[in-house]
Structure 1
């Protein structure tokens, strides 16, 4: 077995790992990057970019069908599934190529292919051919899809989102399990491209929403276009010929239905890729899910004796926020601290921001209302403002007048705290709100910003006005809120 030493070893060459390598290399010359799969990030290969390519094609088909509402006659809309997938793969390969091109900045000798596992806290074994000793180690191994055992009855008809982007042609039908971000995005896109789709959930959740009003509004809106049941009662899944048969109770009628689909798409969540790392040999404290315990501001792991470890963790591997911008930020913090170890610095964690590219789009900014109430000491400390897009001027012009905004602020200080959004082009409004929250802006300060007419942002102004009207401001309110504890 070969032997080698390094200042910093980074396990995983995805978004977090690459960010960690560049940050660590500023402080240490001998930094190695270990990848057990294909080089090229999850985002570029099977995540953000190919899914948005599929959604873009779906939206084009949808808007073409909807053109008649503007008095524009286009004739029957035909979707060439093979052409859709061909463009998707071509563009996807271009994005992957850009990632691979950027990796050329890393010396080939410092890019190691193979699966790494801990032999001891400072030693990694790579494919039983290399023993690598490192002063510090960054775990950036990402995550993978997981599903309930029930789904395995579908056999080779069981697929995950990675498999969708390998299709040469679109199927006739797909049953999607999981109405989260991935399930809703892919499910709606496939529906708009002419695929028969049903989306099944289990625990009642819908996308990222925690505010019940947003959840219910989105549920009604999506069901006007395609079938979504966040609390589905699925009785059986069976493999049948070249398809899968699903027996379930139809949510609107309660009737027992048995339907056949070409595929069962599992979008029921992801699990961190830490189970093959031999963490039992690393001396790390683990949580109930088997993930290392860590400080989210330094990304430094804790040892079993509660001392600070020389091991850091970043990206989807830590199961905190499975988003590319978060992985990049965490990787930069982890790499910086691994490179300068034993010195360490707290990194800047940006405002939580999540966007779902459905239509209407879904977005969340900051912490959800339940967490805010717990943090601030009860619901009496939080004001809520809302506005719908049902009659909003610009939305009606675009014939996209469905949506609801709910915003939160603190009584007393008037500081904006976050919100949940459902409506047209919320990706842009979500950024405005995230920037405002990052700058700790007050609601009245936000209302002083310029708003053009007619734009969708006027819907945001309506919600801010409602929020401002509901605010109780003054030091007495702040003192009263501080007297309450969580759960009061």
Structure 2
């Protein structure tokens, strides 16, 4: 067996792993990057980029078909050629993957080990049965894998996950989608807009990771205008009938219904890909899901020389956070035991369905409601949104009732990928609603909707200050 001794070993060559590898090498350390699967990152191969390519094609067709109210008419009917759409998505996807592979190909060959790693002890890794690596520090960046509940396996090869979608050679005619998180919403709506008869099922009204009920309900209402969507579904039976997946369920009107499909897409979540690492050999503490307990400010697992980064930590499953966590983990692995903590960026997520979804800052469930005011705008009546015929959705902005400091926001609506960034930057800068209202807003733009919400929040702050002024004479104004 080959024996290798290094300063830092990084397990996983995805976004987080490559960031950790680069950081440790930049610190002048001897580093190896270990990967058993394909290079190319989840984002480039089966995540962010191909899903947005599919959505772009679907939205282009949807928008072209929606011009009649503006007086744009014609007799030529547009439709999706599923084979060509998927071939286009794969071609462009391969362009993004090629960019990642160009980087990994540039890594010195002696710093890359192909194979699957497992721990022999806290500082020793076995790569398959051919290589033994002793490292002063280890960064675990193994990513995540799709969750497939056992009862869905009855559908056999008619069952697909988000990892399989882009290998399809043609679009299904009818597809059941399970889950209503970011992946399910994006792929389900893309399918529907490309002509697939979509039935989407979720449980307990878990939709788009939204915890603010009115915002979530506005999203549900908008999506139900495009395809069958039950956010709190009761599935009575799953089976195969005459070679087709069959579902028996309670429909939205309360009656029992049975439908058959070509495909069943399970997008009910992903789990950290840690099972094969034999973490029990490390002695570090794991939670009830088998994920190491770690400090999000340093990515260190306890006081050990093991660091965690990316989707495998089960917290922020987004590329930007994976890159941040990878660099932080790589920096600290290189300087171990002199580990340093940092202030993390504001939590921020976007779903690229239409209407888009954004969650920024503190979760609505975690807010102290008695000390929080909410500013609201409905995009149904917002000027620019109506001009664009994208006037669906709702924005809620949260602020501290006495200080006016921004706490967070949840929204579904047009272009909230941009509104979300504005709010995330403002939160990172610890601005108040009054600070934001002093900034320029052009006309007519969707950002004016944000200003409307901020004005309402600011007014409520003044009211809260007035009510508490006798008790708190030194309270900070909004």
The TM-score, its normalising length taken from structure 2, stands at 0.96
Is there any run of 5+ residues in structure 1 with no aligned partner, and where? 303-307, 374-378, 481-488
Cα drift, residue 402 of structure 1:
1.1
Matched-pair contact (CA < 8 Å) for 1:179–1:228: no
Cα drift, residue 437 of structure 1:
0.5
Matched-pair contact (CA < 8 Å) for 1:122–1:135: yes
- CA distance 1:116–1:475, shift in 2 (3 Å): farther
Partner in structure 1 of residue 31 of structure 2: 31
Partner in structure 2 of residue 194 of structure 1: 195
- Alpha-carbon separation, structure 1, partners of 2:423 and 2:433: 11
Partner in structure 1 of residue 255 of structure 2: 255
Partner SS state of residue 26, structure 2? coil
Is residue 333 of structure 2 the alignment partner of residue 341 of structure 1? no
Matched-pair contact (CA < 8 Å) for 2:140–2:307: yes
Is residue 266 of structure 2 the alignment partner of residue 271 of structure 1? no
Matched-pair contact (CA < 8 Å) for 1:242–1:262: no
Cα drift, residue 29 of structure 1:
3.2
Is residue 393 of structure 2 the alignment partner of residue 403 of structure 1? yes
Cα drift, residue 104 of structure 1:
3.0
Is residue 305 of structure 2 the alignment partner of residue 310 of structure 1? yes
Is residue 85 of structure 2 the alignment partner of residue 81 of structure 1? no
Aligned partner of 1:459 among 432, 449, 459: 449
- 1:31-110 correspondence runs (5 A): 31-74=31-74, 75-110=76-111
Cα drift, residue 111 of structure 1:
1.0
Partner SS state of residue 73, structure 1? coil
Matched-pair contact (CA < 8 Å) for 1:412–1:478: no
C-alpha distance after superposition, 1:318-370 (max 9, x if no partner): 10110000100000100000011111111331011100001010101001122
- Alpha-carbon separation, structure 1, partners of 2:268 and 2:114: 30
Partner SS state of residue 293, structure 1? coil
- CA distance 1:477–1:295, shift in 2 (3 Å): farther
The TM-score, its normalising length taken from structure 1, stands at 0.94
Moved more, 257-266 or 74-83: 74-83
C-alpha distance after superposition, 1:418-449 (max 9, x if no partner): 11011111101110010000000110110111
- Alpha-carbon separation, structure 1, partners of 2:3 and 2:244: 50
Cα drift, residue 41 of structure 1:
0.4
Cα drift, residue 79 of structure 1:
0.8
Partner SS state of residue 165, structure 1? helix
Moved more, 220-229 or 47-56: 220-229
Cα drift, residue 218 of structure 1:
1.2
Partner in structure 1 of residue 375 of structure 2: 385
Is residue 411 of structure 2 the alignment partner of residue 421 of structure 1? yes
Matched-pair contact (CA < 8 Å) for 1:16–1:315: yes
Aligned residues: 469
Partner in structure 1 of residue 465 of structure 2: 473
Is residue 229 of structure 2 the alignment partner of residue 228 of structure 1? yes
- CA distance 1:97–1:445, shift in 2 (3 Å): same
Matched-pair contact (CA < 8 Å) for 1:123–1:131: yes
Matched-pair contact (CA < 8 Å) for 2:58–2:191: yes
Matched-pair contact (CA < 8 Å) for 1:298–1:347: yes
Is residue 207 of structure 2 the alignment partner of residue 203 of structure 1? no
- Alpha-carbon separation, structure 1, partners of 2:276 and 2:121: 14
- CA distance 1:4–1:172, shift in 2 (3 Å): same
Is residue 122 of structure 2 the alignment partner of residue 125 of structure 1? no
Moved more, 271-280 or 238-247: 238-247
- Alpha-carbon separation, structure 1, partners of 2:465 and 2:309: 40
C-alpha distance after superposition, 1:2-60 (max 9, x if no partner): 11111100000000000001111122331000012101100000000000000000000
Matched-pair contact (CA < 8 Å) for 2:29–2:334: no
Cα drift, residue 169 of structure 1:
1.3
- CA distance 1:479–1:147, shift in 2 (3 Å): farther
Is residue 176 of structure 2 the alignment partner of residue 175 of structure 1? yes
Is there any run of 5+ residues in structure 2 with no aligned partner, and where? 473-478
Partner in structure 2 of residue 155 of structure 1: 156
The alignment's C-alpha RMSD in Å is 1.4
Matched-pair contact (CA < 8 Å) for 1:114–1:127: yes
